[in-house]
Structure 1
Amino acid sequence: MIFDAHCDIWTDVTHHHLAGERDIFRRYHYERLEKGGITGGIFVIWNDPPYDKDPLKRTHQMMEAIAQEEKDCADILKVCRSFRDMDEAIKDGKMYAFIGLEGLKSIGEDVDRIDEFYQFGARHASLTWNEENPLATGARGNPDRGLTDLGRKAVRKIQDLGMILDMSHINDKSFWDVMDVAAGPVVATHSNCRALCNQARNLTDEQLKALADTGGMVGLNSFNEFVHPVESEQTVDNLVKHLIHMVEIMGIDHVGFGFDFSEFLEGDTLNSFSSQATPYTIGLEDASHVPALMEAIRKAGFSHEEIEKIAWKNWHTLIHKVLHA
């Protein structure tokens, strides 16, 4: 079993849905995930460029596509709204997906709209993608701008609803501002270590430790530019070094996967965050190659029990702790 805490499949599903296609997850994604041993994860609603110009419209388009997929693929994929849903999916031999919100640009200044998304099924949220918005500041925003008063209200609402609060993509000032407000576990679903690759999207050792201190987690990210600054060194072995460092700083109970695979994205969507010819780590080109990563982790000396924790148990424990049902 492998849990991927950050997956952009809903973005691809929406592209195909708007082109009039149906049963998209089964046709384009299921086989690859199954081959890789991925059993479930968090599939996010992301206002992908260039559609982020009207983020609420794009969010509603994605919700419509998800609702259709939930019907079309009910025999192979369960969209989960509780820990119990996930448990049932596993017993039934189905893949499972929690709905996440990658950034809340779509709510504007209406924090109560988070309730609408929760009622639809969202059980995860981050405040920003890379942008500045009325709530907080992303990794590409003004480094001196942090969390706003509205953002503080959003943090409290997210946690009061029993949603997973995600710090990936947020800038350093906003990160520490959120940590001053948040209560209970806080995570970074798809971030690596800044000590090994000096990218603003990666986390410092102090940030990793702070997440662990909340009872939270970080998910190892396979996006190549977060692995190593030199393209030829963006390899599975160097990605495993990030995992080792995370465990050294945070402890084995606070580390998992958040692969952020994006090989199926293209055009302006892919170019909005990728500056290289490809977005993947060498040897981990897509989800079907995850077994190669697992073998590299074993070779690095992790025990069977430790690998199980990293692969799925830690995320399952956190979900049970955070979600209200």
Structure 2
Amino acid sequence: MNFDAHSDIWTDVTHHYLDGESDIFRKYHYERLKKGQIEGGIFVIWNDPPFDKEPLKRTRQMMEAIAHEEPDCADILKVARSYDDMMKARDEGRMYAFIGLEGLKSIGEDLDLIDEFYQFGARHAGLTWNEENPLATGALGNPERGLTDTGRRAVKKIQDLGMILDVSHLNDASFWDLLRAADGPVVATHSNCRALCNQRRNLTDEQLKELARTGGIVGLNSFNEFVHDVESEQTVGNLVKHLVRMVELMGIDHVGFGFDFSEFLCGDTLSSFSSQANPYTIGLEDASKVPNVIEEMKRVGFSNEEIDKISHKNWHRIIREVIK
């Protein structure tokens, strides 16, 4: 079974919820995830463009949508808030989703909102998406600007609460500032290797090694523009090359999946970060195709034990260690 550390499904749930629909996960996502042997993961609250202009309003809309969706799909999906919740859902044959926060633009400088989001159920957070905000700077912001003093306090609060701390969208300056401020495991839920594809959202070899040193994990990202610079080379085979390099640099215990599937996002949202007609890796068009990654891993020599670690056991360890 596979743990996907980064999914935007709550964005799609919110879109359908605001159109008056219900039981949305079952209608639009469940069968695809089941076919892909996805047992669960982190579903993020994201201030998706063009709704990022009012980030707190959008965050509250998404929280409302989740609250309405949770009882509708409770027989097939558990909204997990602890390691025990996750394991109970697995034992019962249900999928599970931890609520994540992909960026904290919505809070401005009000760190008390992190407590509110935690009480709602959030167990993961990154400081930014691609933008600059009062906490830190994302990948598309000023490369010289790092964490602010408020951002450093946010790092401490996130870790004190027992939330998974994510660096995925930070620029390099903010990445290193956060690593200096953090204590304990730090993850990148959905990033690849910059040495293999020179994108700002991918991580350098030194960054990968440093995340492993903290005890953290990097999740392999299926977004095609992070796989290879040439569109025809954005294949499952070349994606798994990122996985191989991560394992060589970080060790088998520090790599997982964070696929970031986006084929279900609306056009305005998708065009805000994708420059190609399709956002997917060839052979990994959506979550149902995840078995193709497993087969490629076997082909290049990963053992069954190694595949189990990468596919779910490493993320289970982080959840057990970090989430209180």
Determine if the TM-score, normalized by the shorter chain, exceeds 0.5.
yes
Looking at structure 1, the residues matched to 237 and 15 of structure 2 have their Cα atoms a distance apart, in angstroms, of: 34
Q: Secondary structure at the match of 1:44?
A: strand
Q: TM-score, normalised by structure 1?
A: 0.99
1:102, CA displacement in angstroms?
Answer: 0.1
Give the equivalent residue in structure 2 for 1:208. Answer: 208
Looking at structure 1, the residues matched to 273 and 101 of structure 2 have their Cα atoms a distance apart, in angstroms, of: 17
1:268, CA displacement in angstroms?
Answer: 1.3
Looking at structure 1, the residues matched to 63 and 247 of structure 2 have their Cα atoms a distance apart, in angstroms, of: 36
Q: TM-score, normalised by structure 2?
A: 1.00
Residue type at the aligned position of 1:232: S
Residue type at the aligned position of 2:275: S
Give the equivalent residue in structure 2 for 1:47. Answer: 47
Which deviations, in whole Å up to 9, do the C-alpha atoms of 1:133-165 show, x marking residues without a partner? 000000000000000000000000000000000
Looking at structure 2, the residues matched to 133 and 300 of structure 1 have their Cα atoms a distance apart, in angstroms, of: 41
Which deviations, in whole Å up to 9, do the C-alpha atoms of 1:215-249 show, x marking residues without a partner? 00000000000000000000000000000000000
Give the equivalent residue in structure 2 for 1:225. Answer: 225
Give the equivalent residue in structure 2 for 1:180. Answer: 180
Residue type at the aligned position of 2:316: H
Give the equivalent residue in structure 1 for 2:83. Answer: 83
Give the equivalent residue in structure 2 for 1:271. Answer: 271
Q: Which runs of 4+ in 1 moved over 2 A?
A: none
1:267, CA displacement in angstroms?
Answer: 1.6
1:296, CA displacement in angstroms?
Answer: 0.5
Give the equivalent residue in structure 2 for 1:239. Answer: 239
Q: Secondary structure at the match of 1:25?
A: helix
Unaligned runs of 5+ in 2: none
Residue type at the aligned position of 1:280: Y
Give the equivalent residue in structure 2 for 1:251. Answer: 251
Residue type at the aligned position of 1:93: G
Looking at structure 1, the residues matched to 272 and 316 of structure 2 have their Cα atoms a distance apart, in angstroms, of: 31
Looking at structure 1, the residues matched to 89 and 58 of structure 2 have their Cα atoms a distance apart, in angstroms, of: 28
Question: How large is the Cα RMSD of the aligned pairs?
Answer: 0.4
% identical equivalent positions: 78
Looking at structure 1, the residues matched to 238 and 267 of structure 2 have their Cα atoms a distance apart, in angstroms, of: 28
Which deviations, in whole Å up to 9, do the C-alpha atoms of 1:152-193 show, x marking residues without a partner? 000000000000000001000000000101000000000000
Q: Secondary structure at the match of 1:318?
A: helix
Residue type at the aligned position of 1:310: I
Looking at structure 2, the residues matched to 144 and 94 of structure 1 have their Cα atoms a distance apart, in angstroms, of: 45
1:50, CA displacement in angstroms?
Answer: 0.4
Looking at structure 2, the residues matched to 222 and 292 of structure 1 have their Cα atoms a distance apart, in angstroms, of: 12
Residue type at the aligned position of 1:294: I
Looking at structure 2, the residues matched to 97 and 179 of structure 1 have their Cα atoms a distance apart, in angstroms, of: 27
1:112, CA displacement in angstroms?
Answer: 1.1
Q: Secondary structure at the match of 1:99?
A: strand
Give the equivalent residue in structure 2 for 1:282. Answer: 282
Give the equivalent residue in structure 1 for 2:114. Answer: 114
Query: What is the aligned length?
Result: 324
Which deviations, in whole Å up to 9, do the C-alpha atoms of 1:249-300 show, x marking residues without a partner? 0000000000000000122100111000000000000000011111001001
Looking at structure 2, the residues matched to 267 and 15 of structure 1 have their Cα atoms a distance apart, in angstroms, of: 12
Residue type at the aligned position of 2:21: E
Looking at structure 2, the residues matched to 67 and 38 of structure 1 have their Cα atoms a distance apart, in angstroms, of: 22
Unaligned runs of 5+ in 1: none
